[in-house]
Structure 1
């Protein structure tokens, strides 16, 4: 049995649940009073869980998860910016991406105090994701149609490189497989493959993740696992499964509406999908050998479900 945390937007807070590895079934245990926890991230020792507060006055909720099934709110720290959608631990700092005003903030990990902020150079920047990659802090900006690489020097964010995508791509999230990165576009529903070396991205290919005849689609999450790429496609309401080279292999219905996030469980046998508009988390069986997905095997109601992580 694994412990699962389900974040929400316009929901009831942070849901704690048990996941049965044999059946995939989720059993909710309770809800922690955390405001708009639309993204979740662990500390390096996994004893602390950080949750964004996706509100006009952004903040970060820090939870003690020493007992995974009984999280306790330790503190809530303002970020000083609007609409945070993502965060990550980067060395001795916590980095937070703010969609509303396109700013990345840097916070002291021990105190939560904000030490720096950087707004990306664009007409309408929308910083959507931050990822720690060794010495580099990667920031995906949907409004700038670019992915940035930053260093932290003396507690300050310093831009190292910028990789521009075609105008209107709307890059949202990135995942890595060694030195290859897979960057998901929200407005052009596809994955751009990039080489990542010395803190710089170089595009090497692009492929759509929608099936022919699909309705208007806005992909939300990209996960690379076992030489395959999975994306959650809102609108089409499927998990798309592609080869690393970009061939679309499968479009598996999620059983819900507006799949914002998906996650593969630690056994590799299940994919959990947070369906935001239908207010539920569904789970699909996954063949560990082929990566193929089956039909939804079950669902639980979670109002505004938007992210699923395993303790």
Structure 2
């Protein structure tokens, strides 16, 4: 048995932040109460909503677990954003641990160093990148902010598995930034920047386990970018592929076995599957309906047999089975859930 923790946008976000394109197409997403908790039986494929796990925060639209401790971090998509830490019980219940101001506006993502020494928070509106020192128990402490470049708008962050670099998509400047990290996980020196086509709006990224490729989706141009990399650090764009005409990609995740990349595509309401070879090759294999409207988030279960999709405008989670050839097939009736924006699996 597993838990699924789901972050979403709470009601006050629309009071001070207009819905950005492409989310204005069908503005039907209902406000979330905070972080929702569901139980997931992988043997039977049963997904059941258990209730609100945390309601004492503003728009926890991105969640990230600590690499070794039962601690969950939530980035608040809010003015005067915070990084909020929760203790996670075996049944998925959350207990507030601590919160710190992340020194930016509208936190869009958080990543945690493999050693657990730091969390990094990227902000969409003002482009601030914050490094938050974490204590031995996972509590957030000292926060240091990097002055943003003009026009920066950060959307996603990933730390390389060896902990030597932080990769950041800059949605506003059409760049992928590579920040070097020292032995303690602190930001070190000026970042290197990989330019994307103007107006492509690089949104989310994924690392191939081979270390030789990084995958990035462009929100506005509907493309999958494959970047050459060494040790998971990207060096240059290798290829560009259209995913679905008129679509707007959101998140992307690799199957745990590798070989298949799943991409959520809003506007087209599809999940695209790419065959990837770990050396920079990528080929569109299939597309299937997302099981709802506007697939904003998706996650492959660690066991590799299920994909969960958060359809934002239709306010529901859709469950797909994954067969031995990594093909998707829908399972059961979607679970109603307001504004699903981020998914995390934890084991019971």
- In the alignment, does 2:76 pair up with 1:47? no
1:242 matched residue in structure 2? 274
- In 2, Cα distance between equivalents of 1:3 and 1:42: 13
C-alpha distance in 2 between matches for 1:47 and 1:106: 21
Separation of aligned partners in 2, 1:220 and 1:157: 30
Secondary structure in 2 matching 1:297: strand
The answer to whether the Cα contact below 8 Å between 2:216 and 2:224 also exists between their aligned partners in 1 is: yes
Is 2:49 the counterpart of 1:28? yes
1:80 deviates by: 1.7
Structure 2 CA distance, aligned partners of 1:204 and 1:156? 27
Would you say how many aligned residue pairs link Structure 1 and Structure 2?
Answer: 305
Residues 273 and 200 from structure 1, CA distance in 2 versus in 1: closer, same or farther, beyond 3 angstroms? closer
Paired residue for 1:194? Answer: 227
Which of the residues 106, 110, 134 maps onto 1:109?
Answer: 134
Normalised TM-score (structure 1): 0.92
Of 293-302 and 80-89, deviating more is 293-302
What RMSD over aligned residues (CA atoms) do the two structures have, in Å?
1.7
Structure 2 unaligned regions, length at least 5: 11-31
Number of the residue aligned with 1:223: 253
1:18-46: CA deviation from partner (whole Å, max 9, x where unpaired) = 10112322111221214311111111214
- 1:121 correspondence with 2:149: yes
Alignment of 1:79-228 (within 5 A): 79-90=102-113, 91=115, 92-110=117-135, 112-122=140-150, 124-133=151-160, 134=162, 135-153=164-182, 155-177=186-208, 178-179=210-211, 180-197=213-230, 199-210=233-244, 214=245, 216-225=246-255, 226-228=258-260
Q: Secondary structure at the match of 1:241?
A: strand
Q: Which shifted more, 219-228 or 241-250?
A: 241-250
Following the alignment from structure 2 to structure 1, what is the Cα–Cα distance between the partners of residues 188 and 253? 27
Q: Measure how far apart 1:157 and its partner are.
A: 4.7
Gaps of 5+ in 1: none
TM-score (norm 2): 0.83
Per-residue CA deviations over 1:280-305 (Å, capped at 9, x if unaligned) read 11111211x21111135321111111
Q: 1:294 to 1:249 in 2, by over 3 A?
A: same
Matching residue within 33, 41, 44 for 1:12? 33
Query: Runs ≥4 in structure 1, deviation > 6 angstroms?
Result: none
- Rounded to whole Å, the distance in 1 between the matches of 2:102 and 2:145 is 9
**Cα distance in 1, alignment partners of residues 91 and 110 from structure 2:** 20
Q: Supply the distance in 2 between the matched residues of 1:295 and 1:263 (Cα, whole angstroms).
A: 15
Offset at residue 120 of structure 1 (A): 4.1
